[in-house]
Structure 1
Amino acid sequence: MERTSVYKQFVAMLELHCRSIQSGFTVALSGGVDSVVLLHLCHTYANQHEGVPIKAVYVNHGLSENAMRWQDFCEQLCKSLSVEFSAATVEVLPKRRVSLEAQARDARYLALDELALPGSALLLGQHADDQVETFLIRLKRGSGLQGLGAMKAVTQLQSGRNCLRPLLGVGRQDIEAFAKTFTLQHIEDESNQSDIFDRNFLRNQVLPLLKARFKGFVPSVLRSIELLQAQQALVDELSEQDLAVCIDNRCLVVEHLNKLSPLRQSNAVRAWLAIQHVDMPSKKQLEQILQQSLYARPDAQVNIQLAKGSVKLYRGKLYWVAKDQAPLQAISDISISEPLSLTDSRQLIVCKGKGVRFPLPSETVTVKFGDLTERVKPLGKPGHNTVKHWLKDLKVPTWERERVPLIFYNETLVAVVGYFVNESYASEQGIYWKEVDARA
């Protein structure tokens, strides 16, 4: 590949997948050859497209004694290019059943997202050889279709920020040749030489043998990955159709799930958990979820523990309950003209229509949680009773009731979001609050 081809492929990927180039780029800069080349490509592109802002972010995991030296290198490189630079220090504490690599990755993405330019796309320097390594690691783990699809050119962080990998079609050899041609200085991470880590073993021992033995090995694997991703996209379309039938207010309805074939049942559960941003369960855990929910007695208490929470069965519906959810605090004097962000990734938006009347100028609007002893008469219900009574009557699980948003005008409860409104405040041409997932 000629040196100009590296830039052309970078631009092609950028303009194909980046929704708003004028919002700028935030480059994940480690100081290694791939991220240094990526920064220079972005810098060249910005010079040719006036007004495109660039920022580079270095994340110091503290895992190497050379980390501060690498940070200084990155900062000086950015100064020489007149590129804005930030650094973040993150602490990676070992956890059971979670690899150090995975923990470092999660901490890195969180730090990069927090320090990125507002509205910018996050650019990562992963290339074709990294993609092949990821495929082989997933193959070794026995991954399915989605896992073997390896890395996508564009993904989204939980915040909604686009995460772009514009060098996925460029091989390591071409990146190193590009750096040599333009005499780009970069650092070498000493841990890359240690074959203790699976990825390094593949990179240092396995891939060179495969590339030497089989001509065009990397491009062939990339074509297979592209086909796997296309097949996964078809599966995703089928998943959307099944979930449209099976989901009710973020829950999975077992009665509808039971009407699907066994393969589609498994796929629907995986897709439902993905919507909750839950790591995929093991094959054994997935079998437990299906067996215990599809064949449970009506009064059965199903509770299947996963890494970050549990799947619970209540009155024929499956619920995802995240572990260690923090108590929600009341928010006073809220605006009815802007979305309200809660502390658990949910948002409340106000829509016009059948609901409650608009608040008067003398009324302050507040959202509260957990006031289950508050008494109210819902529209169309007989008499007054507590919120706890009405939510139980509506078959809302006990663990969900404390997290249901309650809307107050001054000191009067006027709406229980998603369930009912106070009859005295009801209006056909009023407003109602709708709950959405801010990560979706």
Structure 2
Amino acid sequence: MESTNVYNKFVTALEQQNHNRTQQRLCVALSGGVDSVVLLHLCHQYAKLNGTVKLEAIYVNHGLSDNALMWQQFCTQLCAQLAVPFRAVSVDIQAKSRTSLEAQARDARYLALDTHASKDATLVLGQHADDQIETLLIRLKRGSGLQGLGAMRAKTQLASGRYCIRPLLDIERKDIEAFAQTFSLTHIEDESNHSDVFDRNFLRNQVIPLLKSRFSGFVPSVLRSISILQAQQALIDEIAQSDLESCSDKKQLDIARLTGLSALRQSNAVRAWFAKQGISMPSQKQLAQILDQAINGREDAQVNILLRSGSVKRYNALLYWVPKNHIELADIENISLTAEMKLADGRTLLTISSEGVRAPLATESVTIRFGRINEKIKPFGKPGRNSVKHWLKEAKVPSWERTQIPMVYYNDTLVAVAGYFINSDYAEKSGINWQIQDAE
């Protein structure tokens, strides 16, 4: 591929992935290798021709090579020559069991790029067509499903909301190297790239060259298959989102509605439910357990399926996600009746003017207390006097949520259970009440 074609293909991909934005900031992830050096030059040329585009670059020093500081210096000098604002960031990688060093380095790199790039910048990454095929083969070896076999997306969004784009994904390594040679672009060589100890290097150095030599047009054919897989996954995601909406009851899943779906769509709806809440996906075994206990279990069965960051519980024909990081809520003494008050778990307690309880007297202090569910109260509009626990159970509040509900006291008298009921002895038509607003 000629150098002009490389640039044109890069520009087309860049503008498609970034929605034709020309008034923007691009941050290049610069390692000093041939891929990122060519990417920097392509972005530099693009910025020169589009005066509204700002450009910057970041080098992430993982400290895994004795040459890391030398590579950092190379990147510093390269950006100085091109007058591109540059930043070097060092990260400390702590070895973890059951996680490859490569994966840890990648995660640390993305976090560093996201943290240190300008707030309005789009991250531009240098992965190319050969990297895409390596990713496909690695995931095939792991037994990945359709989503995994779709390999890398041209555009992804980080947890922070920032976008990453990969405008070289349709360009082969040989064309990138030819571009560098044509324009005499110097770059560094990472010595670890020659070690076949790493799976990705083995594929890059031994397997993919053999496949290319054997099968004409191998790379374009594989890229076409990946594109088809991604399109099919996108369709499945659309169906899953539609099913999730039809099965959702606030943040919970309605088991009766879920049961009305086919087995495959049940699985996809539950996966979409996890994804929407930012929860790590359960394994196939765990997913099967969730569906079996939710759908086939007795109505009064106590379902509690433990996962890494929390558990799936069943209550009143609904599935709940309960995070593990439970926050103990302490009583709050002598509060003023402001419009809203933040609680320690991120929720907001709202004070509203409505049919509720009378305002406190000058001699009454207002206190918020938690967990006193054995306290007796006669709710307005309810027959008799009973414990808060009794009334919350009647209101079908899950047992694990009951101790997290703010209880409002005037001195030592319970006058309201926020969001649920008020003390009939304190009721007033033009009074005040309390509601709970979930954390964002």
> Structure 1 length normalisation: TM-score?
0.80
Show the counterpart of 1:361. Answer: none
CA distance in 2, matches of 1:402, 1:132: 52
Aligned twin of 1:165: 166
1:377–1:383 CA contact under 8 A, matched in 2: yes
Does the Cα contact within 8 Å between 1:289 and 1:311 map onto a contact in 2?
A: yes
Kept after mapping to 2: 8 A contact 1:379/1:426: no
SS at match of 1:22: coil
| Cα distance change of structure 1 residues 312 and 29 upon mapping to structure 2, 3 Å threshold | farther
Q: Deviations over 1:184-234 (max 9, x none)?
A: 222222222221221111111110000110011111011011111111111
1:243 is displaced (CA, Å) by 0.4
> Which letter does structure 1 place at the counterpart of 2:241?
E
Relative distance call for 1:205 and 1:238 in structure 2 (3 A) is same
SS of equivalent to 2:311: strand
Q: SS of the counterpart of 1:121?
A: strand
Higher mean C-alpha displacement, 209-218 vs 373-382 = 373-382
How many Å separate the matches in 2 of 1:110 and 1:318? 33
* 1: CA distance, partners of 2:343 / 2:216: 54
Residue 218 of structure 1 is matched in structure 2 by 219
**Matched residues in 2 for 1:109 and 1:236: separation?**
25
**2:23 aligned counterpart, secondary structure:** helix
User: 1:112-123 counterparts in 2 under 5 A?
Assistant: 112-123=113-124
Contact 1:23 1:120 in 2 (8 A): yes
- Partner residue, 2:23: 22
1:95-134 → structure 2 map (5 Å cutoff): 95-134=96-135
C-alpha deviation, 1:63, in angstroms: 2.1
Distance of aligned partners of 1:436 and 1:215 in 2 relative to their CA distance in 1, 3 Å threshold: farther
- Aligned residue identity for 1:66: N
Partner residue of 2:363?
A: none
Unpaired runs of 5+ residues, structure 1, are 357-367
Q: CA RMSD in A?
A: 4.1
Secondary structure of the residue aligned to 1:228 is: helix
Aligned counterpart, 1:135: 136
Letter of the 2:7 counterpart: Y
Gaps of 5+ in 2: 357-367
Q: 2:11 corresponds to which residue?
A: 11
Q: Is the 8 A contact 2:129 2:171 kept in 1?
A: yes
Q: CA deviation at 1:390?
A: 6.2
**Alpha-carbon distance in structure 1 between the residues aligned to 2:8 and 2:202:** 31
Q: Percent identity?
A: 57
Provide the rounded CA distance (Å) in 1 between the counterparts of 2:353 and 2:47. 47
* SS of 2:93 mapped into structure 1: coil
Structure 1 counterpart of 2:205, one-letter code: N
Distance in 1, Cα, partners of 2:225 & 2:353: 50
1:166/1:378 Cα in 2 relative to 1: closer, same or farther (>3 Å)? farther
1:372–1:330 Cα change, 3 Å: closer
> In the TM superposition, what is the alpha-carbon distance from 1:434 to its structure 2 partner?
5.4
Map of 1:70 onto structure 2: 71
**Pair 1:79 & 2:80 matched:** yes
2:209 pairs with 1:208: yes
1:311-337 Cα offsets, whole Å, 9 max, x none, are 33333322333444566899999x989
CA distance in 1, matches of 2:266, 2:202: 37
> Structure 2 matches for 1:265-284, cutoff 5 A?
265-284=266-285
Matched, 1:259 2:257: no
- Asked if 2 retains the 8 angstrom alpha-carbon contact of 1:371 and 1:387, the reply is no
Residues 326-374 of structure 1 show CA distances to partners (whole Å, capped at 9, x for unaligned) of 66899999x989xx99998x79799x99999xxxxxxxxxxx9x84449
- 2: CA distance between counterparts of 1:275 and 1:145? 19
Equivalent in the alignment of 1:38:
39
Instruction: Give the partner amino acid of 1:145.
Output: L
- Maintained 8 Å contact 1:391/1:401: yes
Structure 1 equivalent of residue 307 of structure 2 = 306
Structure 2 residue matching 1:125: 3-state secondary structure: coil
Separation in 1 of the partners of 2:233 and 2:320?
25
Cα distance in structure 2, aligned partners of 1:330 and 1:176: 65
Give me the whole-angstrom Cα distance separating, in 1, the residues matched to 2:378 and 2:111.
Answer: 44
Q: Which moved more, 1:16-25 or 1:147-156?
A: 16-25
C-alpha contact (below 8 Å) 2:347/2:436 kept by paired residues: no
